[in-house]
């Protein structure tokens, strides 16, 4: 890397209009948070976000695609986006396209070979080079590909442009030490590296100081936090300490691993009022034989025991999961075990995936890959079962009084229905009638659930009780032109679980895959 060249280049020529950017995120919560760092670095370098109309039309000077590599269609999504952008770029002189994230880490220069109109490719370990690579590509008039083999800068030290001012992510670790045979994440994100507790708490306090009332602790396996510095009880301690931050009202985390989920974490959840009554616990399969083949170091009865202990201390907890259908060698008996465990678990919702081989994973080379038709038929049966359970669990909420954190733009039909949308404490999506006193995103409303669907609750009828919050004040300041992003001093199953829709990223699925 040429330091002289890097220092000489500037993204904005003095007196010229600032170049606009758009970051498109494909993938999980970790990708969403990485995209916030990318946006923060671009803004620190002088770029400005594309306006809503330009963003919708993909009319920006720089478009960054942050990719996922977990699912089979990840590459299809990327190259579909790139193919569409090729025409846009031809009609927009000076436009640049950058590709980052897990698929970039995996495919490297192959992306430029397949899509030669891409200007920059960078990986999961070197997010910080994005602005420099963009300028180098402009200067040299050729594509720049830079992939690091290990983490160069801890992402939480980077500038951050938060999607939401009232709810935010805080990374507690990066990477993963597990060896699940279906998963390519450890290869792409490296071994687990834990942040020190003081750094995490400082970031939580900074977020709360800026107006946030909800924080989600984020890691590939959050409950293994502390192994890197020799404290296996560190995650439970972190939950208690973060939950005690003055001004924080809601604390969530994602995602834990059943093999390392211990009772001290359940105790911390139950003892800390700010920890919300919800849990995302990836099952993957209900068959012990398949779990062994997946190298998932727990068995179905242990998984069910965890759920029992959670519900014993948090009776109202909503539990969600991830499930893979059609893993190599899965028999009808194995699949029946998955159906049995799902029926017993009573998940509020589930992300269900059809297994697809990921090159570079051990499972891709296993014999007995299942025919597509068999996998599809099982997937449909599982989906129907979970749909029924989700509806039954949501119908049990009818008549309950719930407190909802009002969201911005999460209800796709709110305009047509004259409703607003937010998340209950257990992370269920709630659409509600606004009433005369329209709350702002970030405010809290108390409503009575009137009816239910598999993926959401509705609260019509009773007028909501609105509590205006400093989070709502922060949202109002941002929308009226106040400063809405952090500088470099403020920035601080995730992978595999798609991120929630909209700018409020709360760490749990909103619909099945």
Q: Per the annotation, where are the binding residues for [4Fe-4S] cluster?
A: 28, 68, 102, 176, 180, 183
Q: Helix crossing, 130-140 with 29-44: angle to 10°?
A: 60
Question: In a 3-state reduction of DSSP, which class is residue 376?
Answer: helix
Here the tokens at position 28 are: 């999980």
For residue 342, give both structure tokens. 């799902």
Are 284 and 323 within 8 A, CB to CB?
yes
Q: How many CA atoms lie within 13 A of 453 on its CB side?
A: 9
- Which run of H or of E encompasses 351? strand 349-354
Chain center to CA of 311 = 25
Q: How many Å apart are CA 107 and CA 425, to the nearest integer?
A: 40
Calculate the CA dihedral of residues 486, 488, 489, 493 and round it to 10 degrees: 70
Here the contacts of 135-142 (C-beta below 8 Å, separation 24 or greater) are 135/6, 135/9, 135/10, 135/11, 136/2, 136/5, 136/6, 136/9, 137/96, 138/9, 138/94, 138/96, 139/5, 139/9
- State the binding site: 28, 68, 102, 176, 180, 183
H/E segment holding residue 392: helix 372-395
Distances (CA, A) of 501 to 48, 320, 475, 504: 23, 16, 18, 8
The answer, yes or no, to whether the previous bond of 322 is cis (omega within 30 of 0) is: no
């Amino acid at each position: 890397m040429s330091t002289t060249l890097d220092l000489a280049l500037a993204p904005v020529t003095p007196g010229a209009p600032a170049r606009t950017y758009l970051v498109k995120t494909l993938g999980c919560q970790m990708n969403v948070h990485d995209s916030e760092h990318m946006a923060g670095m671009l803004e620190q370098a002088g770029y400005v976000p594309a306006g809503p109309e330009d963003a919708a039309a993909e009319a920006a000077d720089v478009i960054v695609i942050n990719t996922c590599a977990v699912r089979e269609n990840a590459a299809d999504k990327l190259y579909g986006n790139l193919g569409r952008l090729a025409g846009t770029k031809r009609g927009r002189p000076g436009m640049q396209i950058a590709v980052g994230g897990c698929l970039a880490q995996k495919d490297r220069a192959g992306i430029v070979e397949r899509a030669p109109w891409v200007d920059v490719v960078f990986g999961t370990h070197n997010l910080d080079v994005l602005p420099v690579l963009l300028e180098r590509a402009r200067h040299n008039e050729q594509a720049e590909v830079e992939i690091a083999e290990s983490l160069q800068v801890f992402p939480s030290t980077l500038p951050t442009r938060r999607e939401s001012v009232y709810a935010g992510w805080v990374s507690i670790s990066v990477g993963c030490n597990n060896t699940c045979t279906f998963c390519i994440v450890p290869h792409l994100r490296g071994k687990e590296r834990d942040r020190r507790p003081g750094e995490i708490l400082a970031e939580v306090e900074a977020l709360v100081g800026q107006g946030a009332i909800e924080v989600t602790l984020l890691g590939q396996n959050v409950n293994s936090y502390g192994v890197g510095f020799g404290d296996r009880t560190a995650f439970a301690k972190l939950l208690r300490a973060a939950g005690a931050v003055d001004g924080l009202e809601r604390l969530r985390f994602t995602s834990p691993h059943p093999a390392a989920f211990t009772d001290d974490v359940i105790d911390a959840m139950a003892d800390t009022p700010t920890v919300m009554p919800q849990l995302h616990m990836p099952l993957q399969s209900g068959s012990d034989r398949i779990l062994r083949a997946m190298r998932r170091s727990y068995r179905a009865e242990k998984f069910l025991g965890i759920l029992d202990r959670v519900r014993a201390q948090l009776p109202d907890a909503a539990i969600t999961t991830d499930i893979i259908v059609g893993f190599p060698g899965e028999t009808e008996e194995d699949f029946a075990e998955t159906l049995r465990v799902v029926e017993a678990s009573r998940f509020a919702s589930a992300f269900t995936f059809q297994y697809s081989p990921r090159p570079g994973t051990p499972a891709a080379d296993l014999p007995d890959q299942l025919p597509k038709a068999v996998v599809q038929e099982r997937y449909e049966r599982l989906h129907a079962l979970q749909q029924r359970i989700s509806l039954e669990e949501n119908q049990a909420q009818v008549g309950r009084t719930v407190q909802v954190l009002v969201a911005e733009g999460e209800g796709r039909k709110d305009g047509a229905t004259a409703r607003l949308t937010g998340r209950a404490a257990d992370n269920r999506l709630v659409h509600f009638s606004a009433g005369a006193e329209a709350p702002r995103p970030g405010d809290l409303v108390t409503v009575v659930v009137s009816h239910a669907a598999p993926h959401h609750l509705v609260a019509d009828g009773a007028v909501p009780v609105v509590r205006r919050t400093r989070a709502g004040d922060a949202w109002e300041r941002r929308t009226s032109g106040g400063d809405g992003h952090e500088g470099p001093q403020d920035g601080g199953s995730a992978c595999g679980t798609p991120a929630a829709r909209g700018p409020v990223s709360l760490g749990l699925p909103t619909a099945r895959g």
